[in-house]
Structure 1
Amino acid sequence: MSTHLLPTPLVGRYTAGMPQLCCSGLSENWLLKECGHRHWLAIAHSQGLAQPEFRDAQGHKVYAAFSLVRIQQAQLERVEENDTFSISTLCQPTGRTQHYSQHVVELHGQCIARVAMLSVFVRRAQAGSNRSIVRAVMAAPHATPQPGLAAAAEAFVQRGRARRAAAHAPAMADAHTSVYTPCPYNDFNGADLLYFSSFQSMVDRAEWAGLRSTHPAQLRERELVFYGNLDIGDAVHTQLQTDAKPEGLLAHRSVLRRGSDGMRIAEVFTRKQPVQQKLALAA
């Protein structure tokens, strides 16, 4: 009987220092950025390219914009200063323009987070305008499909479609609303796009300000669905509504809209574990 072997993952090894850490363990924002970078490199690796340089069928430079990102089984609080941990990455094409990747974060041989990502190649239809982002028309992919990932990739694509189909939920009348103007030095990436990890940081800002937390909660699951981008100078309006269903969890849904025209640019679903305030050490 024949079996399909999983492809060999790309493995990165790290030592936790201040860039990787926050007050509650491994920084989720750092993790998203690192997995995004690894996703980009893995696409190039899967196509036999030395550098992640991609162009569409017409020769235009294109970038991989995320459409869906999900973190599960998160126990990031377990990572402490000087801990060594690893991230194992697998990547799978899902058509001409989309790529799926999965990243397993391990500490001392145990999984402390799983990150799944789905990207689409995009370009600007109008130079200098992030509001003109369109899907790129690509030549046939050079990457070889990996049988061990095909089912997971297809399930994730379908999950993204289901999220988009349900995007027009009723207005959140009792939601906390906040306004944030992204900073070009910190929130935009080298392609001059609002970086996908900045959406996570804006939701955390809205949570901290709107829910009046006294100490940070620990991430358990996060799902980010992306619909669009915005130009430098535009603002983001975030509506955050708590969900009382998950017992014992801090759970909320956030809708992020572009200030200039009210367009929905992202929807974020968050699950965290509240923690008790740490006892101060006796003097």
Structure 2
Amino acid sequence: MNATVLDFHPLEPLARDLMERALEPHILLGMPHLTPFGLSETWLMKELGHRHWLMLARQLGMNNADFRTADGEEAYAAICATSLSNARFETVRANDILTIRSLLTPVSRTQVSTRHRLAVRGMTIGEVELISTFVCRMREGDNYSIARVAMPQLKETTPCEVNALATLASAVRSNKAAVCLGLSTDELKTRRSYRFEPDQTQEFNGAGLFYFAQFQAVADRASEKWFSRLQGLLALRERRVFFRGNVRAGETLSVDLVGVSDDHLRLHCVIRRSDGTVIGNVFTRYGS
């Protein structure tokens, strides 16, 4: 007797359902989430960026985060500014449960903010804000041609709030901000420099863009070279990153130290692409 075995595959969950699961507030921490000095900032920023995009898609009533322009072209909710405050990442260890409480608020027709409060063992270990703006490539495959676009789903009647981080970001980009984290925003004097060539399989995201979470990572690589004697002695307390452009695969980046406090606890770095254009400002404050 021959028997036919039918292979019934269970139905895959809907993307919409998985979006909700991905936004659950509790994460059990292990090796992927940690460094020798506590919670990984790079992992955290990737996770919060993912949550930011999913929250935005949910806000727009979408079934996934496949953003499109009015004419159907692929668009991206690109992070244009980040703020980290009250960081205590060095207190985090394996098997801790990280709780993330998040809130989304529109800033304009093209910008959205998400705020994330981080807690471990009932203790706040940081507060993060991400601001994104919708962009698309004006020339296919060219990361130099990234430009802002308005999304039709964000109605003009959507209530917006005055946002301090967005205001500061605009002022930094237009050279109208005097200070950030107690440091001058002036970019003219380079004190030290570090060169870095991003790897397309490591530092670029699925959209082919240099990933926003890598800006602070590259700045940290540079500061570790410049101030290696302080490695492991100081902990991250605050960071502000302002994004001003992107790079093409194969480019070499220059990280320039343009501002530093006398105690070396506050740094201002600018990241330039190969043609000298500034694509990011990174302000950092460390503490004991």
Structure 2, unmatched stretches of 5+, are 1-22, 177-184
- In the alignment, the residues of structure 1 paired with residue 202 and residue 276 of structure 2 have an alpha-carbon distance, to the nearest angstrom, of 23
Q: Aligned residue for 1:239? A: 256
Compute the RMSD of aligned alpha carbons: 2.0
1:184 aligns with 2:200: yes
The one-letter code sitting in structure 1 at the alignment partner of 2:250 is: G
| 1:142 to partner: Cα distance | 5.5
1:255 aligns with 2:264: no
1:157 aligns with 2:166: yes
- In the alignment, the residues of structure 1 paired with residue 171 and residue 125 of structure 2 have an alpha-carbon distance, to the nearest angstrom, of 27
- In the alignment, the residues of structure 1 paired with residue 52 and residue 257 of structure 2 have an alpha-carbon distance, to the nearest angstrom, of 29
Pairwise mapping of residues 31-110 of structure 1 onto structure 2 (< 5 A)? 31-110=44-123
Listed one character per residue, the Cα deviations across residues 147-173 of structure 1 (whole Å, up to 9, x for unaligned) are xxx54x522221212222337725124
Q: Runs of 4 or more off by more than 4 Å in structure 1?
A: 142-146
| 1:241 to partner: Cα distance | 4.0
1:23 aligns with 2:39: no
1:130 aligns with 2:143: yes
- In the alignment, the residues of structure 1 paired with residue 149 and residue 163 of structure 2 have an alpha-carbon distance, to the nearest angstrom, of 20
- In the alignment, the residues of structure 1 paired with residue 245 and residue 34 of structure 2 have an alpha-carbon distance, to the nearest angstrom, of 29
Contact kept in structure 2, 1:102 and 1:114, CA below 8 Å: yes
The one-letter code sitting in structure 2 at the alignment partner of 1:163 is: V
- In the alignment, the residues of structure 2 paired with residue 208 and residue 154 of structure 1 have an alpha-carbon distance, to the nearest angstrom, of 33
- In the alignment, the residues of structure 2 paired with residue 215 and residue 207 of structure 1 have an alpha-carbon distance, to the nearest angstrom, of 9
Q: Aligned residue for 2:223? A: 207
Describe the shift of the 1:170–1:50 C-alpha distance in structure 2 as closer, same or farther (beyond 3 A).
Answer: closer
Aligned counterpart in structure 2 of residue 197 of structure 1, from 210, 213, 223: 213
| 1:243 to partner: Cα distance | 2.3
- In the alignment, the residues of structure 2 paired with residue 39 and residue 224 of structure 1 have an alpha-carbon distance, to the nearest angstrom, of 16
Q: Aligned residue for 1:273? A: 287
The one-letter code sitting in structure 2 at the alignment partner of 1:181 is: E
- In the alignment, the residues of structure 2 paired with residue 53 and residue 96 of structure 1 have an alpha-carbon distance, to the nearest angstrom, of 18
The one-letter code sitting in structure 2 at the alignment partner of 1:230 is: V
Q: Aligned residue for 1:225? A: 242
Q: Calculate percent identity across the aligned residue pairs.
A: 35
The one-letter code sitting in structure 1 at the alignment partner of 2:174 is: A
Structure 1 or 2, whichever has the larger Rg, is 2
Contact kept in structure 2, 1:46 and 1:144, CA below 8 Å: no
What's the TM-score, normalizing by structure 1? 0.85
- In the alignment, the residues of structure 1 paired with residue 133 and residue 260 of structure 2 have an alpha-carbon distance, to the nearest angstrom, of 30
- In the alignment, the residues of structure 2 paired with residue 249 and residue 25 of structure 1 have an alpha-carbon distance, to the nearest angstrom, of 21
Describe the shift of the 1:143–1:189 C-alpha distance in structure 2 as closer, same or farther (beyond 3 A).
Answer: farther
| 1:46 to partner: Cα distance | 1.0
